[in-house]
């Protein structure tokens, strides 16, 4: 009986205080009266006492049930991590954004429909300590991505993925859920990130060879791997991102490994996968690493341009987040007998099936149909690799005829005057740009951005304000016209 009274008092926030007091007094008086009864009175009123006891127990059970239904919790929420796989083609990145479809938005909707989180947590994810380990851009897929959040302890079970997946689109799958320590943060605890880039092998054909879909790579794989070793170590990658100055200490990154795997066939094309593992990455860094590798292997430039500003940026189609590494956490807590290590090897079959059937198949099919790499390779020979002023590509100037007073020499500015493209691969700096990994790209320098009227401007070295232009713009590079191919990143 005392246990029931305590249960009522604990659950009293869902009832009025006066009702809780009345119930408590009623139960207390029954206990006192029963102790004062004479044996014969007790025998006479046994049926009535049992009836009162039954009513009180039912009353307490109803309160507890209503409390559980209202909050969907039977205990204090506990920190957990979710392992996600998703095809990024139909989404505007990982991070939640207004009025666009994102991976996080779909995940929150599924958790709400499953009655795992409350409406307030859906509206304000910070209330459940939500944190993503890596933030992917528009169109970029993830083989393994992790988010940490607080969940009701009874929901952290093997049935969790199936319960949530029935409310998710087929392009997003929750593979598993694991309990972690209370102070765990998916981004901060991540030691390293591995990205992969699935690329057709004809991208590495030399300029003397025919670049076609029938190309098959041979011993050039060894040459590719030898060059990729140049990226390993701690280096200044200021020229492999946008809007960073030389010497910026925040542009130093540590690359642990960089190599390409064996070729394989898909949709009649030969592909290989470049894997890059590093502590963190900056905006567009991986795509520029791949773009420069292609230019050097094709003998379109040499190693002297490694410190140049204008590094070509490969298309975003083949980029995917491969794996997140939690070596320190696994060593400290993964073997304590309470928490599981965040390795996910037991789910490799499910993950590889999703990767093959959803992500890789989509990349191969899209490349076959849209030929984004072939189109980009056509523009690559015109890339200048010059140090350029910040700003959008320069438009073609109109033809003009200038007559001098002495010899009346006609000068055509479109032929003899070289218009310098600011950067055929650079983009107007936008505060909504997303990095290839969460927290791995330092914040953009906003000192050159005028946002007083929601207009974004980039200031060049001459301190002249240049308005932002569309990304698909005709430019002049080395006296030849080039149309920049806009690729989804």
Is 137 a known active-site residue?
Answer: yes
Q: What are phi and psi of 179, to 5 degrees?
A: -80, 140
CB 309 within 8 A of CB 404: no
Query: What stretch of H or E contains 277?
Result: strand 269-278
d(CA 469, CA 489): 18
Binding residue per annotation — 195? yes
- State both tokens at 325: 């590494």
d(CA 184, CA 181): 5
* CA-based R_g, the chain, Å: 31
Which residue among the candidates 46, 123, 137, 440 is catalytic per the annotation? 137
CB 110 within 8 A of CB 201: no
- State both tokens at 116: 């795992």
- State both tokens at 70: 């209202």
User: What does the buried/exposed string (b/e) look like for 326-356 if buried means 16 or more CB atoms within 10 Å of the residue's CB?
Assistant: beebbeebbeeeebbbbebeebeebbeebbe
d(CA 374, CA 470): 22
Q: If 0-12 CB within 10 Å is exposed, 13-18 middle and 19+ buried, where does residue 324 land?
A: buried
d(CA 441, CA 217): 34
SS3 281: coil
Nearest to 300 by CA among 238, 213, 378: 378
d(CA 482, CA 480): 6
Q: CA 228, 232, 236, 238: dihedral to nearest 10 degrees?
A: 40
Annotated binding residues for substrate? 195
Annotated binding residues? 195
| Catalytic (active-site) positions | 137
């Amino acid at each position: 009986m005392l246990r029931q009274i305590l249960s009522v008092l604990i659950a009293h926030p869902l009832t009025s205080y006066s009702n809780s007091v009345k119930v408590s007094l009623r139960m207390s008086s029954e206990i006192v009266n029963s102790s004062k009864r004479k044996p014969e009175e007790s025998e006479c009123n046994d049926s009535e006492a049992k009836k009162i006891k039954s009513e009180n127990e039912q009353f307490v059970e109803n309160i507890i049930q209503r409390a559980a239904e209202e909050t969907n919790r039977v205990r204090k929420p506990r920190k957990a991590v979710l392992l996600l796989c998703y095809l990024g083609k139909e989404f505007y990145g990982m991070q939640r954004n207004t009025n666009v479809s994102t991976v996080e938005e779909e995940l929150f909707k599924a958790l709400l429909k499953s009655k795992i989180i409350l409406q307030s947590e859906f509206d304000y994810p910070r209330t459940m300590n939500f944190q993503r380990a890596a933030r992917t851009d528009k169109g970029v897929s993830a083989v393994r991505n992790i988010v940490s959040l607080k969940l009701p302890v009874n929901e952290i079970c093997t049935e969790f993925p199936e319960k949530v997946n029935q409310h998710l689109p087929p392009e997003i799958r929750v593979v598993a859920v694991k309990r972690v320590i209370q102070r765990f943060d998916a981004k901060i605890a991540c030691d390293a990130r591995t990205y992969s880039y699935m690329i057709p092998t004809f991208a590495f054909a030399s300029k003397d060879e025919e670049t076609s879909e029938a190309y098959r790579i041979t011993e050039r794989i060894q040459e590719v791997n030898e060059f990729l070793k140049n990226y390993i170590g701690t280096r200044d990658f200021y020229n492999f991102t946008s809007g960073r100055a030389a010497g910026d200490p925040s542009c130093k990154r540590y690359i642990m490994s960089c190599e390409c795997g064996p070729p394989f066939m898909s949709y009649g094309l030969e592909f290989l996968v470049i894997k890059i593992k590093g502590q963190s990455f900056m905006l567009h860094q991986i795509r520029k690493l791949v773009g420069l590798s292609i230019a050097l292997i094709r003998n379109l430039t040499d190693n002297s341009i490694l410190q140049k500003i204008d590094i070509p940026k490969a298309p975003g189609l083949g980029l995917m987040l491969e794996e997140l590494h939690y070596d320190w956490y696994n060593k400290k807590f993964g073997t304590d007998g309470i928490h599981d290590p965040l390795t996910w090897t037991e789910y490799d079959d499910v993950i590889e099936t999703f990767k093959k059937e959803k992500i890789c198949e989509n990349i191969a099919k899209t490349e076959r149909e849209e030929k984004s790499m072939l189109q980009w390779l056509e523009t690559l020979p015109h890339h200048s690799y010059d140090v350029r002023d910040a700003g959008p590509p320069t438009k073609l100037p109109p033809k003009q005829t200038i007559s001098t007073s002495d010899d009346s020499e006609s000068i055509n500015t479109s032929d003899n005057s070289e218009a310098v493209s600011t950067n055929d691969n650079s983009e107007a700096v936008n505060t909504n740009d997303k990095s290839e990994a969460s927290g791995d790209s330092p914040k953009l320098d906003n000192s050159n951005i005028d946002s007083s009227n929601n207009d974004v401007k980039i200031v060049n070295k001459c301190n002249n304000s240049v308005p932002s232009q569309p990304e698909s713009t005709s430019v002049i590079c080395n006296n030849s016209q080039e149309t920049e191919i806009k690729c989804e990143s």
